[in-house]
Amino acid sequence: MDLDYQTVLRVFSQAVWPLGRLGGLLLTMPVFSSIMIPSRIKVFFIFALAWICAPAIPEQLSFVNFNGVYLVYMMQEVFFGLLMGFVMQLVFQVFVLGGQIISMQAGMGFAVMVDPSSKASVPLISQFYLMMVTLIFLALNGHLALLDSVIQSFTMMPVGQVNWDSSTVWRVILFSGWMFKEAVLISIPALLSLLIVSLSFGIMARAAPQLNIFSLGFPITLLMGVLIIKVGLPSVGAQIADSIEQGMYFIKGMLH
């Protein structure tokens, strides 16, 4: 079969256009954006997905008709992919923030470790919750659902037809506010339990001033914090699944 210049360039264009949206997504998408995954694997994965999405690219976007508007389209594609991954990243940060709140109240804020995926220092409880949400995200096939959404987005919102207005950005800002609300709701049971423990120590200090409440209260508060976290694990797991579902609903809502 003879291939002319325009046909080769058209096929090449269809394989290149998805790179912007897919690259932006994988730059911010949880798990795949981790620095623990080699860059070569990420590049290979992006090109493989781009080849799958190539048939959904309109033929009129061939680079034969290249003009300055194509650069604007590519910037829109990258930004759209970044926004989709950022929304799911907010879901993960809900439990990091909730773990930080619990750590400070339980007196475990000093227990800090380096997150191997982001190289950031986070409290131990936050790292524990982050591992939980990552495993549940993979167990629920959240990564496959997110990749399926971005592949379908090339049909529902084709390249060059991405409509941006202030309402879209404002919805993402409001969703970031949802992150803080959910983090507080996750930490409320532990906060109330530890508040009762602190109140009991205050009553003990008034009833028996000769006792050294500080030396007794600190290790007991740590022990109670660990016990409360263990007891609350089933409810946290349910909240993780619900938060991932809300994040996916929000991402699919961006495509309409």
Q: What is the mean pLDDT of residues 216-224?
A: 75
Q: What is the pLDDT of residues 135-154, one digit of tens each?
A: 999 998 888 888 888 888 88
Q: What is the mean pLDDT of residues 113-125?
A: 73
Q: What is the pLDDT of residues 224-240, one digit of tens each?
A: 878 888 888 888 888 88
Q: What is the pLDDT of residues 158-189, one digit of tens each?
A: 887 766 666 777 888 888 888 888 888 888 88
Is the pLDDT at 69 greater than 70, yes or no?
A: yes
Helix segments in 108-232, DSSP class H: 124-139, 142-156, 166-207, 213-231
Measure the CA–CA gap between 26 and 23, rounded to whole angstroms: 5
pTM of the model: 0.82
Measure the CA–CA gap between 79 and 25, rounded to whole angstroms: 9
Is the pLDDT at 246 greater than 80, yes or no?
A: yes
Q: What was the pLDDT predicted at 3? A: 60
Closest to 141 in 3D by CA, of 130, 152, 149 = 149
**DSSP H/E element including 7:** helix 5-16
Measure the CA–CA gap between 244 and 124, rounded to whole angstroms: 22
Helix axes 18-28 and 69-106, enclosed angle (nearest 10): 10
Rg (CA), the chain: 24
CB under 8 Å, gap of 24 or more: what pairs does 126-132 form?
A: 126/95, 126/96, 126/97, 126/98, 126/99, 126/100, 127/99, 128/99, 128/229, 129/95, 129/96, 129/98, 129/99, 129/236, 130/92, 130/95, 130/96, 130/99, 132/95, 132/236, 132/237, 132/240
> How many other C-beta atoms can be found within 10 angstroms of the C-beta atom of residue 180?
14
Q: What was the pLDDT predicted at 163? A: 66
Domain ranges of the chain: 71-253
Binned at pLDDT 50, 70 and 90, residue 1 comes out as: very low
